[in-house]
A and B are shown apart, each in its own frame.
Chain A
Amino acid sequence: MCGIAGYLSKRDAPEPVGRIMLDMLTSLARRGPDSAGMALFRSEPAHRDACWIRLPETGDAEAHAQRILAGLATVGKVGEVQRHHGLLRVELATVAEPGAIRAAVERGSDEVEVVSLGKQMELVKQVGHPDGLAANIDVDGFRGSHAIGHTRLSTESRVDLTHSQPFWARGIADVATVHNGHITNYHKLRRHYEQRGVRFFSENDSEIIGVYIADKLDGGLSLEGALEASLDELDGSFSYLVASGDAIGFARDPFALKPLITVETDDYVAIANEEIAIRAALGGAGIAHEPSGHVSRVWRRTDSAAPVAVAS
């Protein structure tokens, strides 16, 4: 019974999206406090990429970090470096493709993983209640345009950083997913992708959604198209959110098995499993609406008019 939340501001000026996401996730933590995370977006790309890397849980962290930085130096110019518990954040000036950056970092270790890459996105996660996000990482001070977040109830896989959400749509900069539900054709899809050389880091079925979205975007589909295709190609129960550099969107399984509420005002779009999270974070404005099943929708920062709903 995970909690998922999303927020997209329609205003030009930066918003305290870190604080908003924290308030939403704190409200949803009743649904599961095993781990929590969020993908925060600034409205304009920074000059350099922010690369978030999961460090091995064992061994000398400093030695791991030095080895990772040496790897990154082969694909770009390393800037500021920060440690946030199990994660390393590295600013990188590079023209290398995400795949090459991943290869430079992940080569030679099964325990090192690039969890996020992009000029707009900061993807942070941790084990435990969402409260810890404010304590361990300064999400409270983050101002930007949009965000998605997750608080987890572990049902079928381990509770550790590797299995925590959000999941980066690996290989596509500035795209991340959060999922509530259970993807029942996970093993079949995973075999399909592994045969094509895709590497998985966890046993969490939600990881497949990031891989799936990355594959669809890589194949030329729009975010709207990728979400719509997933309604028929993913099996099981799912309400999941995707965020990209200028958009957030949701997809809901045909049986509408997992809750999903949207509230849209002139100033923002907010999405959560339960309306209580939206009210706790943003007050009483806007009318809550729960879509039916087999529905996906995307809101873009650049939309001037009301976005088109995709339903079939």
Chain B
Amino acid sequence: MSSVSAARASVEIDASERPVREINGAIRTALAEGTTVAVRSPGARHNLGVALLTPGTVTFGGSVGYYCGGMGDGATVRIDGSAGWGVGEGMLSGTVIVDGNAGNSAAASIRGGTVVIRGDCAARAGISMKGGRLLIAGDAGYMTGFMMQKGFIAIAGNAGDALADSMYEGTIYVAGEIASLGNDAVVEAATEEDQAMLEAAFAEFDLPRPGAFRRITAGRKLWNFETHELETWRAAL
């Protein structure tokens, strides 16, 4: 099932017909030995490459299902295809790069590291982010950045409805159109430093150079309950 190259520098795993737990075990073993991993025929199965806690690179040669790269701490996960719900969710550090599109809740609750989506994201990308970076080269769907707390999301394309709804803190940057803002989201121009930082981040992952960004942050009106702002709360809840 696995073939090790002469230099023991890389290992190939054929995912077809193998249980996911066994595939993930083989990936962890290889990474612990300092070996780069290529997984053939992932078949869009769920929970591939979760909880990878050592540095190293694993590449999935096709689409993956739910939670790929989730709970990672230090590994680099490349996906030569699309990803299902919750790609990279709960990551502490490391990198997840999706060549295609991502389903709902990409980079949900990540605390650090970088999630890169070359295509589009469906709904709720970056929901409850607690740190780290989410770079989206395409469009982002409904309620991107919902209840975000820290870190940043950069969207080179367009953003869907209810962008940045009920954010606590953190920053969202959008280069394209914004369909509508969520509750308590505030838009301002990005600074030159922001723009330079974002262009460098996109260049780091060979993404096309993005246009001029706007910056969206929390208006902080939802931080404390105020009776005279009851309507805002009604809308938020």
Binding site for B on A (CB under 8 A): 254-256, 259, 261, 274-276, 278-280, 284, 287-294
> In the complex, how many angstroms separate the beta carbon of A148 from the nearest chain B beta carbon?
20
> In the complex, how many angstroms separate the beta carbon of A245 from the nearest chain B beta carbon?
30
Which residues of B are found within 8 Å of A280, using beta-carbon distances? 43
Given contacts A287-B119, A290-B103, A294-B161, contact A256 B142 (CB under 8 A): yes
Of A255, A256, A287, most buried by chain B (CB within 10 Å of CB) is: A256
Q: Tell whether B141 is near chain A: CB-to-CB under 8 Å.
A: yes
Instruction: Using CB atoms, name the residue of chain A closest to B120.
Output: A289
Q: Which of B84, B103, B142 contacts A293 (CB 8 A)?
A: B142
Query: Is the interface on chain B under 10, 10 to 19, 20 to 34, or 35 or more residues?
Result: 20 to 34
Q: Which of B43, B65, B141 contacts A292 (CB 8 A)?
A: B141
> In the complex, how many angstroms separate the beta carbon of A275 from the nearest chain B beta carbon?
4
> In the complex, how many angstroms separate the beta carbon of A282 from the nearest chain B beta carbon?
11
Q: Which of chain B's residues 118-139 have a Cβ closer than 8 Å to chain A?
A: 119-120, 122-124
Q: Which of B62, B81, B101 contacts A290 (CB 8 A)?
A: B101
Q: Which of A255, A259, A279, A284 contacts B103 (CB 8 A)?
A: A259
Alpha-carbon distance between A287 and B161 when the two chains are bound, in angstroms: 24
Task: Tell me whether B44 and A274 are in contact (CB under 8 A).
Answer: yes
Which residues of B are found within 8 Å of A256, using beta-carbon distances? 104, 122-124, 141-142
Instruction: Using CB atoms, name the residue of chain B closest to A273.
Output: B84
Q: Mark B156-174, 1 if CB is under 8 A from A, else 0.
A: 0000110000000000000
Alpha-carbon distance between A292 and B142 when the two chains are bound, in angstroms: 6
Alpha-carbon distance between A293 and B161 when the two chains are bound, in angstroms: 9
Given contacts A274-B46, A287-B119, A288-B100, 11 further A-B contacts (CB under 8 A): A259-B85, A259-B104, A276-B43, A279-B63, A289-B100, A290-B84, A290-B101, A291-B141, A292-B141, A293-B160, A294-B142
Which residues of A are found within 8 Å of B62, using beta-carbon distances? 279, 284
Of B101, B102, B122, B124, most buried by chain A (CB within 10 Å of CB) is: B122
A-B contact pairs, 13 of them (CB 8 A): A256-B123, A259-B85, A261-B84, A261-B103, A274-B65, A275-B82, A275-B84, A276-B44, A276-B45, A279-B62, A287-B100, A289-B100, A293-B161
Q: Mark B105-124, 1 if CB is under 8 A from A, else 0.
A: 00000000000000110111
Alpha-carbon distance between A297 and B141 when the two chains are bound, in angstroms: 16
Alpha-carbon distance between A143 and B50 when the two chains are bound, in angstroms: 40
> In the complex, how many angstroms separate the beta carbon of A274 from the nearest chain B beta carbon?
6
Which residues of A are found within 8 Å of B161, using beta-carbon distances? 293-294
Alpha-carbon distance between A280 and B104 when the two chains are bound, in angstroms: 21
Binding site for A on B (CB under 8 A): 43-46, 62-63, 65-66, 81-82, 84-85, 100-104, 119-120, 122-124, 141-143, 160-161
Alpha-carbon distance between A276 and B47 when the two chains are bound, in angstroms: 12
Instruction: Using CB atoms, name the residue of chain B closest to A278.
Output: B44
Which residues of B are found within 8 Å of A254, using beta-carbon distances? 142
Task: Tell me whether B141 and A279 are in contact (CB under 8 A).
Answer: no
Q: Which of B63, B66, B142, B143 contacts A288 (CB 8 A)?
A: B63
Instruction: Using CB atoms, name the residue of chain A closest to B61.
Output: A284
Instruction: Using CB atoms, name the residue of chain A closest to B65.
Output: A276
Task: Tell me whether B84 and A292 are in contact (CB under 8 A).
Answer: no
Which residues of B are found within 8 Å of A284, using beta-carbon distances? 62-63, 81
> In the complex, how many angstroms separate the beta carbon of A212 from the nearest chain B beta carbon?
23
Which residues of A are found within 8 Å of B122, using beta-carbon distances? 256, 290-292
Alpha-carbon distance between A284 and B120 when the two chains are bound, in angstroms: 19
Q: Which of A289, A291, A294 contacts B82 (CB 8 A)?
A: A289
Task: Tell me whether A292 and B160 are in contact (CB under 8 A).
Answer: yes
Alpha-carbon distance between A280 and B62 when the two chains are bound, in angstroms: 13
> In the complex, how many angstroms separate the beta carbon of B6 from the nearest chain A beta carbon?
29
Q: Which of A276, A279, A290, A294 contacts B46 (CB 8 A)?
A: A276
Alpha-carbon distance between A176 and B122 when the two chains are bound, in angstroms: 27
Alpha-carbon distance between A23 and B44 when the two chains are bound, in angstroms: 15
Given contacts A254-B142, A256-B142, A278-B44, contact A288 B123 (CB under 8 A): no
Task: Tell me whether B142 and A287 are in contact (CB under 8 A).
Answer: no
Alpha-carbon distance between A284 and B99 when the two chains are bound, in angstroms: 14
Closest A-B pairs by Cβ, 4 of them: A292-B141, A256-B123, A275-B44, A288-B82
Which residues of A are found within 8 Å of B43, using beta-carbon distances? 276, 279-280
Instruction: Using CB atoms, name the residue of chain A closest to B62.
Output: A284
Given contacts A275-B63, A284-B62, contact A289 B124 (CB under 8 A): no
